[in-house]
Structure 1
């Protein structure tokens, strides 16, 4: 075999190996090219809740985020109201739909969900409505309701290092930055900033005081499956809500006009903060745009807005509303995954299902708290927010990221093959 032939054959083998490594995930030795591996995947199944596995508590945590602080007791399970709030059928744990209604969409990975009428409070369909799960950042709708009714929105707050050091998703508050409470609310609701939640909670008396106010409001709304442990939605001891309760909390938040406006806002400018005087290498941090992290707002006709959430223990959580022909519906999702559909796509399917049901049908009722939902007049912006403003892309797009990486490796392998073939061809050309 000539050197040229050897190099050509080596090029083909290298490119093929790169491509196979990409398809198989790059782990271990590449399988024989003559016998490509068979790829098997576990079929998707919607989580079964017929036996009421979360009747008293959320699922067992996978980490230590809910371990009580030293000297603090483990919170007891919340009492179970009897009869069930919302009607007899709200005590069921499986899929709850009106008699004679068509089957619900199949591609729903959310363990619990509920579709309700924002204005009448009627529950149209549900799954494990009072099952207890973790809310993640959807609990920020409760913090927002407390704060919007308490704080002076024009007051200027100075960002602290404690704000910047919080765990989880952050909008980008920096020490020494000047922020109005309205801007903090934008960061909280649109971009799910835990740093904004910290700055807001500080004005309510600190995390413990803010949590107490949130729990007091939840109890007054008869959201009896809900117990807040952190202002931001990070998992903590005793944290709990239900698909039913989350619908109640969102309905109450929608009675605050600014909340309804902000969940419908696609993009705003957010202030920067000054350089650290103690760090000679630091520079001023300019302002930047923040975009709404709710994809349903951009992808679903009639979307009003909503709130996303994610933690390792809660998984994907979601609450949103949409309007069609003068009818406004709310959908809540708890303990969902990004497969087979992203949470906002699952929500879209359930909203379609709810809008298709006759107005006279229902399976339950949200409590009447005498809160009349404020109908936002904000119109959707003509253009979506710039790319890169999704503050939870890393958490909620894990599967997409892996697929994108494999695609790049496949393309890279093909490019290497072409480049090496061209190089080998040049070596075969006569030199003049």
Structure 2
């Protein structure tokens, strides 16, 4: 078993043990000694500790390969993308809003409106953290707009050997791209991410495409380092960016369908001839690993994530009374509440706010014009396989610009023609 997967399962086991212990404690008579456990405290970010880069890693997953440079921190746009208030690093609330829910362990979070783009409330919205498997939202966006979903793909041993969480792709198994995306989005399969990336040109080419899309959306706190979300050199996102990427993905009908699917049949794969006595592996059911989907009324679905360095990450959406809200969590823990439970509390908080409440939005993306910012805002390179439609406001500006330039060209052409005609006369 891979070390990362072992740690993940160990964390789940510890959570189960703690839950059993809590039940036992509840049944213990009041004569038991008082607890000396330090009360939980939400991490303080008022001092902007992650303004430029994520917290220091706890392992060697982000050490560059031999001969590769160490990525420098991404530039920090000024003013903050989405509005001035989103440049704050602590809790940011609308004027007169109630206090945020208790027991939220996420170091950074954002509650936003999927339809209007309004940011309703946040904590360290542009602080930089690691996305873990929530970056698969970005991979899915690239894949859904690039690959033929009916194309048949044969699983490889390289797919089966990837690190981290796997859905169960086997060498020689036959899968459609649609099934690979089910495994990616529903079960967070790193093996599915590997199979998808192979069709996009390999890991390095896929990461480049993902980062192009992030730049095209002006998610400038985001830098993917792996297709699956496993930690790597320079990996970064923010709660704001994750909300932005999720909102974009939700415009793709199949993505919205898959994150809302509870379970689906998945193909098996043939016996491995290298293993004596191995037999064919039959198909099986895969389930959605997002518990909010099963436990929160109006849940639309979402994406979970975890690595040793990123800790718990989460993005999800729900609908109530005609409103669709999204919540993103970064660097959370499983105590005192599981991430989906923290998301549920923040969604309740968002739905309780009046319509039109806002501390910023996902439309106002004008930043200070510098060479760095211009480079960040450059369109994707040709041949990327991805064509991102610009926002409506940008399209209007582009149209006006084309009309003005076209008019100038026509006038100049008429003047030149008249001058040449005069010379001929």
**TM range, smaller chain:** 0.7 to 0.9
Tell me the TM-score normalised to structure 2 length.
0.78
Per the alignment, residue 310 of structure 1 pairs with 306
- Deviation track 1:108-157 (CA, whole Å, cap 9, x = no partner) reads 00000000000010000000000000000000000000000000000110
Per the alignment, residue 407 of structure 1 pairs with none
User: How far apart are residue 73 of structure 1 and its match?
Assistant: 1.1
1:150 and 2:150 correspond = no
SS at match of 2:171: coil
Per the alignment, residue 141 of structure 1 pairs with 137
Per the alignment, residue 292 of structure 1 pairs with 288
User: How far apart are residue 106 of structure 1 and its match?
Assistant: 1.2
User: How far apart are residue 276 of structure 1 and its match?
Assistant: 1.2
1:47 and 2:43 correspond = yes
Q: How does 1:50-129 map to 2 (within 5 A)?
A: 50-129=46-125
- Deviation track 1:166-219 (CA, whole Å, cap 9, x = no partner) reads 000000000000000000000000000000000000000000000000000000
Distance in 2 (CA, whole Å) between partners of 1:322 and 1:217 is 25
Distance in 2 (CA, whole Å) between partners of 1:305 and 1:38 is 40
User: How far apart are residue 367 of structure 1 and its match?
Assistant: 3.3
User: How far apart are residue 371 of structure 1 and its match?
Assistant: 6.3
* Conserved? CA contact 1:221–1:367, under 8 Å: no
Per the alignment, residue 208 of structure 1 pairs with 204
Residues 36 and 304 of structure 1, relative CA distance in 2, 3 Å threshold: closer
1:267 and 2:260 correspond = no
Distance in 1 (CA, whole Å) between partners of 2:93 and 2:82 is 14
Give the number of aligned pairs. 341
Tell me the TM-score normalised to structure 1 length.
0.77
Q: How does 1:338-377 map to 2 (within 5 A)?
A: 338-367=334-363
User: How far apart are residue 231 of structure 1 and its match?
Assistant: 0.2
SS at match of 1:354: helix
Distance in 2 (CA, whole Å) between partners of 1:39 and 1:106 is 20
* Conserved? CA contact 1:255–1:371, under 8 Å: no
User: How far apart are residue 39 of structure 1 and its match?
Assistant: 4.9
Distance in 2 (CA, whole Å) between partners of 1:208 and 1:216 is 12
SS at match of 1:182: helix
Match of 2:248 among 247, 252, 273: 252
Match of 1:228 among 221, 224, 241: 224
Larger Rg: 1
* Ranges in structure 2 where 5+ consecutive residues have no aligned partner: 1-19, 22-30, 365-388, 393-425
SS at match of 2:213: helix
User: How far apart are residue 107 of structure 1 and its match?
Assistant: 1.1
Distance in 1 (CA, whole Å) between partners of 2:214 and 2:221 is 9
- Over aligned residues, Cα RMSD in angstroms? 1.7
